[in-house]
Amino acid sequence: MTQQHKHLIVRADISWCPQEEDLNKISDWVRSLIKEIDMKLLSGPYTMYVNEKGNKGMTSVAIIETSHIALHIWDETSPGLMQLDVYSCANFFPQSVFNKVNDLFKTTKMEYKFLDREKELVEVKE
């Protein structure tokens, strides 16, 4: 495997926000995302709900063989806010990630940066 050092950073406004009772659903979603981008799960996902006013929402992190995935969702606003990082030393396609995000969370707006971090921070244009 040739290392790629690709980092996808996603910010999305979402229509569906998970609640505290959705911990397993989000863990399952992270596992399905890892499978979709053809990565190998090493540990996690670790998913928790923060119930602190002004910071309520879900956080899930997973260690993959080639790096990590981190998902954060704040549910006190309408629409909700999602921040997602997918960092991998293996190649993956951002559109696969976007499709998985849209399928569950029903985005109303999505922005992203796709970076190649091998030698410098270079934005990858698709």
Report helix, strand or coil for 126. coil
Domain boundaries along the sequence of the chain: 6-123
Which pTM value belongs to this model?
0.92
| pLDDT value at 122 more than 90 | no
In terms of Cβ atoms closer than 10 Å to its own Cβ (0-12, 13-18, 19+), residue 80 is: buried
Tokens encoding 91: 């190649």
Tens-place pLDDT, residues 11-33:
999 999 999 999 999 999 999 99
Can you give the pLDDT at residue 108?
A: 96
CATH level 3 topology of 6-123: S-adenosylmethionine decarboxylase (3.60.90)
Q: Could you say which DSSP state residue 21 is in? A: G
Mean pLDDT, range 104-111, rounded to an integer: 97
Q: Give the model's confidence band at 125: pLDDT under 50 very low, under 70 low, under 90 confident, else very high.
A: confident
Place of tokens 């950073």: 9
AA letter at 89: C
